[in-house]
Structure 1
């Protein structure tokens, strides 16, 4: 029977294989093969990845992928230092050995002052871990008080002590997002996922940063990875739905923009830019004297305006306005179409246009809202 260290390794391997199925790394064709492999490996070593007792006994704090990433980073760092030392030794001249020794001492001093980016968390003393946690807690407090620049500094200090804690990078990403520094937020969120690929909140922060830069496809991908790790996270589910909605809207706008139909400006002429273009949208007759209402009803911008009027109550005002009702009745009875300049100068129409312009702003402000990203782990 394998010793407990090997069983812990086997348990980590089984968890890695299962997570690879869940996060989509393994496609449907390979899913069955991996499931069979999990069962066979588990039986051979006497380890059951779904057994709560085995989880308590064999589970590691970090995932296998995270531990492997750390090991690679340490190896690369050591190789880099060894190569540097060899090159320095080869270029050392015996006549300047004393000065070289002094420079070597100074160089070592500089190295000691630098944060150890590849230092394993397990190698930290309890005092170092506690200090890093205190800095993180103080950073969280500053986020709550909206002192985001101070929070970034505190999280950075925590990272300099313990650069292998994914929470610190994710929290700093949240603070950067609150400062609208979304590029830095993306870098920190990505670093957090590298340090601990099983930390779901890192993907949430990454999704938020991408969303804020209108990179909706990337945001969707990040949220999906986070939900694969935390399927019941309601906040991430809502954020994913918002990102999918925005991506769909963006694609729809691209399709409409490629069409030959004229578009309506959203502002201008005191809120009457929409009315000023009715003639062009409707396919006005010679001299702009006639409106093609069939074309108007098929125009998505017009229908969107009508929908906004219905929601804002402006449509009821329109029906109850005697002047506008008389104008509409005259047109229905075959009268002449009113002069567009007169329409734009009509104070009642100007007020009406202002109402659904404001309703449009309200709708756009409330649609697809992102959950706040300033929350921090405690």
Structure 2
């Protein structure tokens, strides 16, 4: 299964599983069986917390499909818009529901709320619609469904539901909040002012309504002074163009360029970093496309362009404050930091200020005297430079400016490049890491437990990942250090640490042949019950030193071990997981085991979530459920097995050569933290070290 298939397979399995929850007994088993078949065929697990974080953070499959249908319909496609759940009659004289219907409706509302939390807006709409069928007299069900419609850009349906909610209960403040938000998002600012004003009159203490009213008044005022929408489609508007030689329109919007017939040069457009960033954000946030097409001015521009009217005047379009803010958000950052805002229409009357969790490392932690804190954002979105200023102001008595100035910043495990910091925005809920660009290997007694070690900082000047290399039985760390320096040419922003085993191999040249734990007795005979415990304890102590004094995050430390070195890495993983079971942030980055094995029998209560790539040589594939891998499965829930052919001479234990590195490089490419948002948007090309 390719990495591109996994997210889709996970989404399908999740949709089937969620659909079974509300299905009849007859269909429930069939849907669950289908979900299980998809999960097994594509090796995905909807119950895995790791895969939930990796694949399940976006909108659900139903919501994405709804967005596709709606966008296709808006852009002239033949497909109909997704059908809304049946609306109640506008008559208020509906029959009184039975107690059983009322209870079932409340359960469906709870199901809808759960789907909203999971961003499965299609499922939420369906659940609220079924609740309305059972009890059409509740303004809450209509109000909640309006919120779900707004989340996928179906503001017309949201307006209808919000109006129905206010009709059922004219004093229900949330109905006006939903209505105002949907009207505002549709560009109907004056109507939004009226809706919010009505809401404030019935619920004068509601801060959401008051803020919505103020924003709508501001937009209505700005729109009245901007060119009218009718002018946007006139021939006079077509004649307007930027001055010759202009590079950008209002608001810093880039020049699109044009080819024959007014058609833009698409290749040139995608070479523009701002346009490429906007395209990336549109693809990573499907909801945003529907939101874009619901802006009246942008919709008119698209319609004119589609009918042969030529490219729109971007300078005039940027006079629209809503479009200007939208452009700023789309080009301001990637992923969750792209300034999506707080939605404004969730109708919660007790909204707390959104916060971010800030984690400090190394000298920053020492200077501030704390490891982490939560900081409330003054607005949504808030720029990353503003957060940096807030941190400096909060700890002004410790004079942190010089320390902060030399730090690198990461948001949700994505390293922010220096030139991207000014444009990166936060919406609340993110995890921000602050660490010095350089992490020197601080001397400590724990390092003396190994016979030798070598450290090479990242050539780029930014130590974001630490790769620890452990050699095999009878070898030394010298060739592995050479290997590490070769890998640094490929792996971005990665420091390398090689360790040399603490015990010399008896009867061999001293200083050249080492073992990680006593493997032979004084007569050179192989021990039947070797004890790796002392070395495991030393390696655990080194990890504590690296994550403490040196400022590394455990999740950014990656092990590569060969033979006996791989065994030590695996055994250390088990002990480290036991001692940090209640610390999710202490999870190690990954382990690559080449011909390693377990000596012990792991007894973890819950397997580690650390990804482990185990590479073995065999003339044939060993099934994943074979007893050979039992210890591996007990140690980690994220095991990947990779078989290689036997080495020349039939050896089943040999170091990787040439293209045999491809699987390792692909594995690391998915895990290494140091990729910037621009690097993450492209395809990873596996490169093997030179022979």
The higher relative CO (CA closer than 8 Å, separation ≥ 6) is in 1
When Rg is computed on C-alpha atoms for both structures, the one with the higher figure is: 1
TM-score, normalised by the number of residues in structure 1: 0.41
Structure ranking higher in strand proportion: 2
TM-score, normalised by the number of residues in structure 2: 0.23
